[in-house]
A and B are shown apart, each in its own frame.
Chain A
Amino acid sequence: EAQVTQNPRYLITVTGKKLTVTCSQNMNHEYMSWYRQDPGLGLRQIYYSMNVEVTDKGDVPEGYKVSRKEKRNFPLILESPSPNQTSLYFCASSLGPINEQFFGPGTRLTVL
């Protein structure tokens, strides 16, 4: 089944404790993105990747890192999480940058 998976789905952590949210797609997509969704602000792109080893900042990259060492995986790293990073995070992938994006199920992160 073609899909985008994210783990964990829910995470409660404390300020400053490094964490990684994994994202994987099995559709051989080149373009991958991370978004955060906050009430009243819609979806905001954090980072995107055009292909393996090619990543760039989206609109709200501060406090986040990503890597794209393999085509299928695009982990989101929070080196030192802060409470303002409490949000719902979505990973998405598409064949190319201007094709339908398929979203993962979301990761709800709470930073205390």
Chain B
Amino acid sequence: GENVEQHPSTLSVQEGDSAVIKCTYSDSASNYFPWYKQELGKRPQLIIDIRSNVGEKKDQRIAVTLNKTAKHFSLHITETQPEDSAVYFCAAFGTGTYKYIFGTGTRLKVLA
């Protein structure tokens, strides 16, 4: 079946540094790639998303890049802050299946 691989599974950075999380998808018909942040004990919340007709999208300290040829997309967080500490999930939506496939998550720790 289709899958999304997410790396790394854990990531520790110093406050103020950048963090990068990478995902690779297998379904070439995927056209929508959201990123969700889940704080401990809370529900996932969308932080940024990108559609297949766009290569990059930014929202303040957060950016996502998409390489359709390589079937690869990444989340970039600059100037990290302690409140960025959470689990981040990438996902891919398949236009043929109408299903979402999520990555297994990255636990980000921002050290003060």
Contact = CB atoms under 8 A, between A and B. Distances in A.
Interface string A26-61: 000000010100001111110010100000101100
- Interface of chain B, helix or strand or loop or mixed? strand
Interface string A71-112: 000000000000000000010000001101101111000000
A103 B43 contact: yes
Interface in B10-64: 31-32, 34, 43-46, 49, 51
Contacts of B100: 33, 45, 48, 58, 101
Contacts of A41: 104
Contacts of B93: 97-98
B62 to A, nearest CB: 14
Contacts of A104: 43
A42 B102 contact: yes
A5 to B, nearest CB: 11
Given A42-B102, A48-B99, A98-B31, A103 B44 contact: yes
A62 B43 CA distance: 24
Contact of A42 (B1, B45, B51, B103): B103
A55 B103 CA distance: 23
A40 B104 CA distance: 6
Contacts of A103: 43-45
Given A56-B98, A58-B99, A43 B51 contact: no
Interface of B: 1, 6, 31-32, 34, 43-46, 49, 51, 89, 91, 93, 98-105
The 3 A-B residue pairs with the shortest CB-CB distance in the complex, in nearest-first order: A98-B32, A103-B43, A42-B104
22 contacts: A35-B102, A40-B104, A42-B102, A42-B104, A43-B44, A43-B89, A43-B91, A43-B102, A44-B102, A45-B101, A45-B102, A50-B98, A56-B98, A56-B99, A59-B1, A59-B101, A90-B43, A98-B31, A98-B51, A100-B49, A103-B45, A105-B43
